[in-house]
Amino acid sequence: MAAPTLAVYKFASCDGCQLSLLDLEDELLAIAEVIQIANFPEASREVVDGPYDLTLVEGSITTAHDARRIVEVRKQSRFLVAIGACATAGGIQALRNWADVAEFTRVVYANPQYINTLSTSQPISELVPVDFELRGCPIDKGQLLEVVTAFLQGRKPDIPTYSVCVECKLRGNPCVMVAKGIPCLGPVTQAGCGAICPSFHRGCYGCFGPMESANTESLASWWKQLGVEDAGLVDAFRGFNAWASAFREASDRHEAAIEIGGPR
Amino acid sequence: MNGLRQIAVDYLARVEGEGSLKVTVVDGQVDDVQFSIFEPPRFFEAFLRGRQHTEAPDITARICGICPIAYQMSAVHAMESAFGVEVGGALRELRRLIYCGEWIESHTLHVYLLHAPGFLGSPSAVHMAKDHRDVVEQGLRLKKVGNEIMRVVGGREIHPINVRVGGFYRVPTRRELEALVPELEWARDAAERTIRFVAGFHYPDVEQDFELVSLSHPDEYPFNEGRIVSNKGLDIAVSEFNDHFTEEHVARSNALHSRIKGRGAYHVGPLARYGLNFEKLTPRARDLAVEAGLGPVVRNPFQSIIVRSVEVLYAVEEALRIIDSYTPPEEPCVAYRPRAAVGHGASEAPRGMLYHRYAIDDDGRILDAQITPPTAQNQLTIEDDLRVVLEQHIDLPDDELQWLLEQTIRNYDPCISCATHFLDLQIERKERTT
């Protein structure tokens, strides 16, 4: 039987998540023995025609061209995995979703008429059905390896959906919020990174997006006790996963509170 | 050769991001060369406005997953220049160390996985591994050494979390850094083998009269600090960048093209750093460069793969030096107060100088931001090289010519995600109709 085929596509993104595949230095050549890298332009000039068995999609949809392209990619893909915060939540560039993109274009480009872009940055799942979403900004390469392995074995990937707090407990980290009064998004953020930030004495800033049933309101009241105002909460929730619904709603709530309470 | 010849490639492979190349050949003469960038715009400079200055290193890192440290370093230096903060001693050394990690990782990715396959007639490193498995395995292990430095000092390889304005959140212990030493010692020998390996490639005979631009520091090969200098008389402070460089926006590209005022195209990256700072390399790196047949200035853009390999050796030796002399600083970060000010920062990303400028208000929020990435600065120079290579090789069959033009672009290790912030290659050959 022929090896299953792999395709990797890029939309609006930083390249970091597909780089994670090349960062599997110890496993890359072994992976290439059991899976045919059929369409991965960043790594290979050779492109084998689809359809593909496993497709990894990095990046968000921000142009009309890309909105058409993702539909074609879906047609060519048996199992499509969105990888990273851009593909699963719109990425940092989803901050445009609260702004006037025409004004954004004028700020960055001298000739805005040359720029074709949509007014929003959307996750892949808003345009086409997605078979699995792997979170993170960037994704964790160990989790990527698990997704690829699970696909090859025909089982569901074992990716935890609990919070970063659990990873801190597993690492034996003292809680940075309790012990040091450092605001931390860990209680509402999905695990996956290994609780890196608290291990480096800083608060989590939400790279893996909201955990299941995140209680953002409770966390916000803890942050307020640490002296963080609504404006700071808006910034905290409007990060790399700003458009993920739990973080989006929390940021809108605190933005409305600023408008009621006066200028920030 | 007369007649219409067309070659179209929809996506240039083994570069970071999405760009295109369109070449028009009329009656056997190069008519037009356009290297375009279609990576969708992400508007970093726009949404940075109103964010806290402390967020700039983490946010701008997301411009590029291949060189996040460059973005973090240019950002923190810009903020520190705005607030008058000096970061010295072991904290400064740790910044050089994490930058060594990024150079080793990014350069090795480029040399082994992106560029070497082109010289060996192979579509990818995985294909190359069939005939050169030990070489590819050496490259992957060397790349991993760079990533390990990033992970130990920065918390993770891509978008490290430990860099902040004023220093770090947590500094490593001596023992944590010493654990890196055995692999770094292996890497020193592997880096030498890399230089000897790439020195044996066949190089097209191209000599370009580049204006080389890089940082230059009196005592060290440049990473984070220095004046901006060139081989054609430029010698300015980082804060004077906008007095001497301009960016222009052309219809075919979502990246801004940079020029030196009054002169035009210039070249940033390893050839520039090397040509302007040769004597600051370690003796071993200089000796290996000479053994590889390089002079103190290299004008053949194809030989940039050798120079990158020399820089890997330098970065490995510099990392070993820093670790050997490391004593953890008492505080992980220098205290400072934000103030309304304008700050400038430039650092040497693996693919060339990266400039940031921020205006900050009294509350430490960003009023406006300017980011000038290396690939945008090299874009005009890449087009110049393409024209020269085309003229020299115009009689090659289309498939061979296309291969060579792709290599010409890859010489710059272009990071197109950075530059916009695809590569679609078209060669059009036609007769002029009169």
pTM: 0.94
Question: B123 vs A29: CB contact, 8 Å cut-off?
Answer: no
| A44 to B109: CB separation less than 8 angstroms, yes or no | no
Q: Please tell me the predicted confidence (pLDDT) of residue B425.
A: 46
Q: Can you give the pLDDT at residue B429?
A: 65
Taking an 8 Å cut-off on Cβ atoms, the answer to whether B332 and A93 are in contact is no
Between residues 161 and 180 of chain A, which touch chain B (CB distance below 8 Å)?
none
Chain A hits for B19, Cβ within 8 Å:
none
Q: What is the pLDDT of residue A264?
A: 44
Q: In what order do the strands lie in the sheet with B235-236?
A: B213-216, B227-230, B235-236
Tokens at A236, concatenated:
């905290």
What pLDDT is stored for residue B1 in this prediction?
42
B174/B404 Cα distance (integer angstroms): 47
Distance CA A61, CA A39 (A): 20
* Residues of A whose CB is below 8 A from B40: 11-12, 62-63, 66, 117
Q: What are the chain A neighbours of B169 within 8 Å (beta carbons)?
A: 197, 200-202
Instruction: Pick the more confident residue, B21 or A20.
Output: A20
Compare CB distances from B169 to A108, A138, A202 and report the shortest one's residue: A202
Task: Supply the pLDDT for residue B422.
Answer: 33
CB-closest option in A19, A137, A235 to B66 = A19
Q: What is the CATH number of domain A5-153?
A: 3.40.50.700
- Domain span(s) for CATH 1.10.645.10 in chain B: 44-376
Residues 225-264 of A with CB under 8 A from B: 235, 240
Count residue pairs from A and B with Cβ separation < 8 A: 184
From the list A13, A15, A110, the residue facing B248 with the nearest CB is: A110
- Chain B residues whose CB is inside 8 A of the A200 CB are 155, 161-162, 168-170
CATH code at B44-376? 1.10.645.10
C-beta atoms of B39 and A12 within 8 A: yes
Q: Which of A17, A29, A45 to mutate to test the interface with B (most CBs of B within 10 A)?
A: A45
A 98-157 residues inside an 8 A Cβ radius of B: 99, 101, 103-105, 107-111, 114-115, 117, 121, 137-138, 141
Q: What are the average pLDDT values for consecutive 10-residue runs of chain B, which has 434 residues?
A: 49 62 83 77 90 98 95 98 97 98 97 94 91 96 98 98 98 98 98 98 96 97 97 97 87 73 94 98 98 97 98 98 98 97 98 97 96 89 92 89 89 68 51 52
Q: Please give the Cα distance from B80 to B87 (Å, whole number).
A: 8
Of the partner residues B46, B170, B250, the one whose CB lies closest to the CB of residue A107: B46
Residue ranges of domains in chain A = 5-153, 164-261
- The Cα–Cα gap between A146 and A159 comes to 8
Contact A108 B55 (CB under 8 A): no
pLDDT digits (tens, 9 = 90+) for A224-259: 999 999 999 999 999 999 999 999 999 999 999 987
Closest to A45 (Cβ–Cβ): which among B66, B124, B417? B124
* Encoded tokens for B402: 């296309």
CA–CA gap between residue A34 and residue A54 (Å, rounded): 13
B428 bridge partner residues:
B6, B24
Q: Do A44 and B124 touch (CB under 8 A)?
A: yes
Mind telling me how many Å the CA of B365 is from chain A's nearest CA?
Answer: 11
CB of B335 closer than 8 Å to CB of B84: no
For range A48-56, the mean pLDDT:
96
Local structure of B90: helix, strand or coil: helix
Residues 10 to 39 of A: which have CB under 8 A from any B CB? 10-17, 19-20, 22-23, 25-26, 28-29, 32, 37
Grouping H, G, I as helix, E, B as strand and the rest as coil, residue A176 is: helix
Q: Give strand ranges (E) for A11-113.
A: 36-39, 52-58, 77-83
Compute the CA torsion angle B331, B332, B336, B342 (nearest 10 deg). 150
ipTM of the complex: 0.96
What is the DSSP annotation of A219-255?
HHHHHHHTT--HHHHHHHHSSTTTTSHHHHHHHHHHH
pLDDT of residue B21: 79
Contact, B358 vs B51, CB < 8 A?
A: no
Q: Which of A17, A115, A235 sits opposite B41 (nearest CB)?
A: A115
Q: Is B15 within 8 Å of B410 (Cβ atoms)?
A: yes
Q: Is A42 on the interface with B (CB under 8 A)?
A: yes
- Quote the pLDDT of residue A123: 98
Tell me whether residues B406 and A93 touch, CB distance under 8 A.
no
Query: What dihedral do alpha carbons B208, B209, B212, B218 form, nearest 10°?
Result: 120
User: Are A45 and B14 inside 8 Å of each other by CB?
Assistant: yes
Q: Write down the pLDDT at residue A198.
A: 98
Q: Write the DSSP assignment of B133-171 as a string of letters.
A: HHHHHHHHHHHHHHHHHHHHHHSSSSS-S-EETTEESSP
Binary contact (B248, A95; C-beta < 8 A): no
